[in-house]
Structure 1
Amino acid sequence: MMTANTNSPHPKPRAGITLGLRQNLAQFMLLVAVNALVGGTLGQERTVLPLLAAQVFQLDLYTSALTYILAFGLAKAATNYFAGTLSDRYGRKPVLVAGWIIALPVPLLLIFGPSWGWIVAANVVLGISQGLTWSTTVMMKMDLVGPSRRGLAMGLNEAAGYLGVAGAALATGYIAATSGLRPGPFLLGAAFIAVGLGLSVLTVRETHHHAKLEAASHVSVHAGTHAELSNRDVFTLTSFRDKSLSSVSQAGLVNNLNDGLAWGLFPVLFAAAGLTIDRIGILAAVYPAVWGAGQLVTGALSDRIGRKPLIVGGMLVQAAALAMVAVGRDFGTWLAAAVFLGTGTAMVYPTLLAAIGDVAHPAWRARSVGIYRLWRDGGFAVGALLSGIIADAYGIPAAVGVVAALTGASGLIVAVRMRSTDHRAAG
């Protein structure tokens, strides 16, 4: 599906292209809808797969059961890295369409897989697809709105994605409770993929030239002093050298580390306490629902008060919520913890992306976003492995407690090391 971009490496922006949310509202809202479908494709697994591991495939060890999250995280993290480079080379739209095409076999593998290895393979494919589709919708919205509304744009993007996750998690929980763990829940995912592919092919337009327009008048904040950087330079800046970019990268990793824990072990913990599948589905949905809806506020708020306060505060709220899960024993406590965990994540998630966009030069911003998302989604793999090992040795509450401590420490690192990155503070 990808064809080489016939433009020169640094073409002049096309006439008539303008930056701004209002100026590009129709295309922006279309991309919001597309990302909701991307989230729904992921959400089809949130309630059902942990139960499938225990009840259908009889996986006793948590480490074994969490292999699908490990596989998903590694595949998505690696694909995120390449998504930025591919979208700069070939354009955003071909990468988005390719991601949807790659997702086509996922529901079939989940429905008909006769062994756990098939489920793991499905999550490798899903991780590749999510790395291409979600990364590209992030880049395209950054391209369209320019610097002044970047926080709002990321809030809307991530809100749509995680409301899609929440809606699918809730719906599949009820479907599984009434018609079984397979095939019903995954037919919903198949519908999401079909609609997402159709919209991306027929209605989404390329946005790469919007990034070129912004690059022509870009004012550096910290790391963006040079438009021409090699892939290696961008990687080291984003990962280690620039204090703001590297602080954001480690916070993203820890954020998804605790999300991997929530995805893989929370349903098992709730089931062991005697909760029914539909109540587990509610808890699995409330966390990403609050996360998703909250970003409608926190993304725009970060444009006004700055990125750093929301990131530090959000990580500390997440840590407190995880501690509540560890000590909780009933639905009410876990429901409150899910609300707090979603709130903390909403404070962090779009703000981290906006901070990357603030610092990185538009000429290599897509690569920097991809590298940040490499670290962030690598947190899924780290979380699955770490929490599985601790849960097997000491139980799920101990695993949750350790991840709570790591999340709090990550917030403190941001407080000490990160500089203000947003254009409001820098101006």
Structure 2
Amino acid sequence: MDTAPPTGGAVSAPVRPIRLGLGANAAQFALLVAVNALVGGMVGQQQTVLPLLAQSVFGLTGYTFIFTYVAAFGITKSIANYFAGTFSDRYGRKPVLLVGWLFALPVPLMLIFAPSWGWVVAANVLLGINQGLTWSTTVVMKIDLVGPRQRGLAMGLNEAAGYGAVAVTSLLAGYLAADYGLRPAPFLLGLFYAALALLLSGVFIRETRGHARLEAALHKAAPHAAPAANPGVLPRADTANPPLRADLTDRQIVALTSLREPALSSASQAGLVNNLNFGLSWGLFPLLFATAHLPVAQIGLLFALYPGVWGVGQLVTGALSDRIGRKHLITAGMALQSAALVVIALGDGFGTWAVGTVLLGAGTAMVYPTLLAVVGDVAHPAWRGRAVGVYRVWRDLGYAVGAVLGGIVADALGLHAAVWAAAGVSAVSATLVAVRMYETHGPEARRA
């Protein structure tokens, strides 16, 4: 879609025309992809290292206590997601992006000089705020730029950059830790990422709220759609883009995205379970792999395989969802995640765990950009930022749920039992999507 707003009247100064579409906004889109890679790198700097740091430096042995940093990250990130969506709709996208990067600057220094585990938890609170504000905003900005036709591709590129950077930085951090120790070398990566991202965001990134306003102006209801009798229930039509009203309150948007709207709420629960698996893996996989007495470099490689396949796979799955639709990819992806976790739970060495983490990454790649595309399909451009924020609140609460569930089950029944629990939850999530979600894009799109 390459659409410019109608013009008329005298113009006192040259104005850059606003157009929707990936080709028309290629330079800005590429910059946002680069910035989101730096967002992912901030997480990757610590994923391989912190569980090992907890045991070897701070002497922590209880899994539930070790996972506190993941829970702190997930809770603060989920809250920051909500404010990112609300503030980006109210004040613009770029200011939120800049504030998010300011929260990132102290994180590597706190991890380098942390005298106690409490400092690590506090650093992850700041990291959660950084991730919620920056990642949510880059998602919304890319959806703004590309318009309705290429949302899946846009989200695939966005998430591939972010989680590809998680994988690469996890691998680099593992090698740096093996060669130079657990501190400070791995965390110097994060310091560089934060400084570079602030430069790119402040100098080169442009505001995209005007693109959302243009799409809203072009967002016309189907002629046969009747007004909603209940202000919380939206009219629907048999079109790929439903005629959702623009004048919803924040409370209505929260209710629709969380519970009432079948596609949005199904996406929210699937997102939560997806990140439950990621949160559990973040705290648990390095410890599980260490039980086989694998060297740190091999543990880093195993952990990098999961987000690496996840990141690269999204280059295919995001665009694929634009061609074949969203629902079946999400259902199959959650089922594949469940099967992958079974493989990991049964494993006891590098080979089996490598197969399991590759399958887990593939299942996640099928789900991650597609869920965001569903939100973009259903939400009206006027409140898209808030809908994305609410969805990401639920999705990123999965970090905390995974950390707590994994820690409790691991302490009570062992590390393998915690992986089995996550496999069961993923299977239930796949079933819920299959039963409740409707197709939101393509020729099979329908509206309940």
TM norm structure 2: 0.91
**Which residue matches 2:28?**
27
The one-letter code matched in structure 1 to 2:431 is: L
- Return the letter of the residue paired with 1:22: G
Deviations 1:273-302 (A, max 9, x none): 111000000011111000000000000000
Whole-angstrom CA distance in 2 between matches of 1:415 and 1:379: 20
Equivalent in the alignment of 1:232: 251
Contact 2:338 2:424 in 1 (8 A): yes
Kindly provide the CA deviation profile for residues 311-349 of structure 1, in whole angstroms up to 9, marking residues without a partner as x.
000000000000111010110000011110000000000
Deviation of 1:223 after TM superposition, in Å, equals 6.7
- Following superposition of structure 1 onto structure 2, how do residues 211-222 of structure 1 map, counting pairs within 5 Å? 211-219=212-220
Aligned to 1:73: 74
1:63 aligns with 2:60: no
Q: In the aligned structure 2, how far is the partner of 1:16 from the partner of 1:424?
A: 31
Quick one: distance in 1 between partners of 2:288 and 2:330?
A: 28
Residues 107-160 of structure 1: per-residue CA shift (max 9 Å, x gap):
011000100000000000000000000000000000000000000000000000
Deviation at 1:219, TM superposition (A): 4.5
CA distance in 1, matches of 2:343, 2:291: 17
Tell me the distance in 1 between the aligned counterparts of 2:188 and 2:427: 39
> What residue is the counterpart of 2:298 in the other structure?
279
- Work out the CA distance in 2 between the residues paired with 1:395 and 1:385: 14
Equivalent pair of 1:303/1:424 in contact (CA under 8 Å) = no
Mapped to 1, the partners of 2:171 and 2:331 lie a distance apart of 30
Match of 2:143 in 1: 142
> Once the two structures are superposed, what CA deviation does each residue of 1:257-285 show, in whole Å capped at 9, x if it has no partner?
01001110000011111110000000111
Structure 2: how far apart are the matches of 1:176 and 1:16? 49
| Aligned positions of 1:162-173 closer than 5 A | 162-173=163-174
Alpha-carbon separation, structure 2, partners of 1:260 and 1:107: 20
| Counterpart in the other structure of 1:309 | 328
> Contact conserved, 2:438 with 2:445, CA < 8 A, in 1?
no
Q: Partners in 2 of 1:141 and 1:350 — Cα distance?
A: 12
2:24 alignment partner, SS class: coil
Cα distance in structure 2, aligned partners of 1:110 and 1:223: 47
**Distance change >3 Å, CA 45–CA 323, structure 1 → 2:** same
Q: Cα deviations across residues 176-195 of structure 1 (Å, max 9, x unaligned)? A: 00010000000011001110
Look up the match of 1:49.
Answer: 50
Deviation at 1:424, TM superposition (A): 4.7
Matched, 1:361 2:380: yes
1:112 aligns with 2:110: no
Which residue of 2 is the match for residue 388 of structure 1? 407
Q: How does 1:55-204 map to 2 (within 5 A)?
A: 55-204=56-205
Unaligned runs of 5+ in 2: 1-14, 222-239
**Structure-2 residue corresponding to 1:245:** 264
Q: Percent sequence identity over matched residues?
A: 64
Output the amino acid matched with 2:381: P
Cα distance, 1:225 vs structure 2: 2.0
**Counterparts of 1:224 and 1:373, CA distance in 2:** 23
Aligned equivalent of 1:399: 418
Q: CA deviation at 1:231?
A: 0.3
CA drift at 1:423: 4.9
Q: Specify the code of the residue in structure 2 equivalent to 1:62.
A: Y
Alignment of structure 1 residues 319-338 onto 2, 5 Å: 319-338=338-357
Runs of 4 or more above 6 Å deviation: none
User: 3-state SS of the aligned residue for 1:275?
Assistant: coil
Give yes or no for contact 1:251–1:414 (8 Å, CA) kept in 2.
yes
Give the partner amino acid of 1:87.
S
Separation (CA, whole Å) in 2 of partners of 1:66 and 1:331: 23
For residues 176-226 of structure 1, give each alpha carbon's deviation from its aligned partner in whole angstroms, at most 9, with x where no partner exists.
000100000000110011101110001000000000000111146587521
**Aligned AA for 1:237?**
L
- Aligned equivalent of 2:431: 412
Distance 1:217 1:272 in 2: 57
Counterparts of 2:431 and 2:93, CA distance in 1 = 36
Size of the aligned set, in residue pairs, is 414
Q: What is the alpha-carbon distance in structure 1 between the residues aligned to residue 308 and residue 116 of structure 2?
A: 31
| Amino acid of the structure 1 residue aligned with 2:135 | W
SS at 1:426 equivalent = coil
Q: 1:117 to 1:314 in 2, by over 3 A?
A: same
Corresponding residue of 1:256: 275
The CA deviation at 1:74 is 0.2
Q: Is the 8 A contact 1:223 1:237 kept in 2?
A: no
Cα deviation, residue 15, structure 1: 6.9
Q: How many angstroms apart in 2 are the aligned matches of 1:233 and 1:222? A: 19
* Residue range with higher mean Cα deviation, 417-426 or 365-374: 417-426
| Corresponding letter in the other structure for 1:203 | F
Gaps of 5+ in 1: 1-13
Could you say what secondary structure the match of 1:24 adopts? Answer: helix
Report the RMSD for the aligned CA atoms in angstroms: 1.2
1:55 CA drift (Å): 1.1
Q: Deviations over 1:17-58 (max 9, x none)?
A: 010000000100110011001100111011001111111111
SS of alignment partner, residue 364 of structure 1: helix
